A and B are shown apart, each in its own frame.
Chain A
């Protein structure tokens, strides 16, 4: 008899899917919202239990659905790494929906609100499945589900620009998933497997004997590139600013903080469990990832500096942060992978915080979005101001906040890899660039507004917008705590990640 806690990862995914179906049947958005929040909370606690169980016993287990053993049944593999990711994904999802609730119920038409939460539930289900899956094809199916759901989250705010942004996002994503599918087909044809563990054995055997070298390289390249396109790796990031910058605050938070990470989580699982880092180093894929990451870090920040629209600035900053993660993957060492995983967690707390605060700051400033018109907005909602400042400081990499620790880990990981000079220089440059646009933004929201602007804002801001938003305060406080905890208590988190990565194989 195996412990009952081993059912929990499956329950998490199942709850999210059932929640999605129920939300679609509900008529009132508020009820669907409550249901989705409840599911996020339940998933959080279930994942926490799995994390405690796997971390204390130092194990990772395979859960077979309906007790059909591989290769016939579908299975889930859970260890500390997966449980930690699931925990952060579900909690940040809940907090984004909580903090962005006011904007959300204003931006989305009442008749469409239940469907919005259906899509949010499906995003959660696919994020969890992408982390837990042991089957590459199941991974592909959930990639597509998350694509549709994420596009629907963008177009929920029904404006013309959002529709066009969704279209771009959709086409780019489809290209990415077609590439992934093609890679999958080629890989399946040279190995004959789809399940990760036999697949890993065959790939290792092929790599050793040098048989089918070209198909193997093409397959691995296509799968990595496909996931790279979907997670906005540098040259493929053009869809991101429109999609993330225009959507309602909760959607932007979910998309930037979580959806991109789901694909990266699958990529990390594939890299560790199937492809193996040595093989990726040998055929040069890690070098491409490293180059793309380094370029993304610089180009994303440069584009963000030119942007005056606060949410588009944050969206471009996501490109830079994704660059950090790909840089870590591109180092090709376990330390680099661990640093990337840590940065996934930091960015998953930090970016939703920034997006929610930015949404709130523009809500109290007559829905202005340009930094110039947000001058002094922090005094109108102090919590949002503080949250934005914390997020910005973490992004720049000030000690005590999460962003600093991940930069430290990236820098340490780059020693002894032969790429130290490039990585350290680009980290320094990127920190400088981050400071160059985040500091003016922070100064601007805490600045003194000219009288005309004050009068204009006072006139055009509705009373219900100015009222204290308790839900937002709760969500922002939780996310601030998350960022600070990651910045101070990073040792335990890193222990979990290291153990998890070693058990992932």
Chain B
């Protein structure tokens, strides 16, 4: 039991983090907190991805002084994907924050229910 947990520790952490993030996105009324929730979800996926490419006791695959045995290295592709994923996540976060700033300037609130109320009043 404990051993299974230890072997899967990264996946379990990732699943818990993903759940926390998703819950934040669903439940939080504050828009910034929702964005933070998305970030936590993304981090969970990145953790899972990075851990899948990790080989216990190996190093980064940088060819040094003639050491070219593939067994000594971790799988580099997931690490590369994580890097790309982080770039994507940062740009999405920047865009969301800019959008929320515009909404705050316009309505003076970032609480979702207040925002809906004020928007409805404006339409009427």
Contacts and interface: CB of A to CB of B under 8 A. Distances in A.
A171 B115 CA distance: 16
A151 B99 CA distance: 10
**Which of A141, A155, A182 has most chain B Cβ within 10 Å?**
A182
Contacts of B84: 137, 141
Contacts of B96: 170, 174
B24 to A, nearest CB: 12
B99 A188 contact: no
Interface in A119-158: 137, 140-141, 144, 147-148, 151-152, 155
A148 B85 contact: no
A130 B4 CA distance: 40
B91 A170 contact: no
Contacts of A194: 77, 81
A160 B106 contact: yes
Contacts, number: 69
A175 B26 CA distance: 10
Interface residues of B, number: 32
Interface stretch (A45-53, A161-169, A339-347): A161-169
Given A141-B84, A170-B96, A170-B99, 7 more contacts: A148-B91, A163-B106, A167-B103, A171-B38, A181-B45, A188-B52, A189-B52
A181 B85 contact: yes
Interface residues of A, number: 26
Top 4 A-B pairs, shortest CB-CB distance? A189-B52, A144-B88, A185-B49, A163-B103
Contacts of B18: 182
Interface of A: 137, 140-141, 144, 147-148, 151-152, 155, 160-161, 163-164, 166-167, 170-171, 174-175, 178, 181-182, 185, 188-189, 194
Nearest to B91: A148
Interface string B102-124: 11001100000001100100110
A464 to B, nearest CB: 27
Nearest to A186: B48
Contacts of B48: 182, 185
A322 B96 CA distance: 27
B92 interface: yes
Interface string B73-84: 000011001001
Given A151-B99, A181-B45, A160 B92 contact: no
Nearest to A147: B92
A141 B96 CA distance: 17
Contact of A167 (B45, B49, B91, B100): B100
A213 to B, nearest CB: 18
A174 B106 contact: no
Contacts of B77: 188, 194
Contact of A175 (B25, B85, B107): B25
Contact of B119 (A164, A171, A188): A164
A163 B101 CA distance: 10
Given A137-B84, A167-B99, A178-B38, A160 B78 contact: no
27 contacts: A137-B81, A137-B84, A141-B84, A144-B91, A148-B91, A148-B92, A151-B99, A155-B102, A160-B106, A160-B119, A161-B123, A163-B103, A164-B103, A164-B115, A170-B95, A170-B96, A171-B34, A174-B92, A178-B42, A178-B45, A181-B42, A181-B85, A182-B18, A185-B49, A188-B77, A188-B78, A194-B81
Given A160-B119, A167-B31, A174-B92, A185 B103 contact: no
Interface in B8-59: 18, 25, 31, 34, 38, 41-42, 45, 48-49, 52
Contacts of B49: 185, 188
A266 to B, nearest CB: 16
A166 B99 contact: yes
A141 B92 CA distance: 11
A148 to B, nearest CB: 5
Contacts of A155: 99, 102
B62 to A, nearest CB: 17
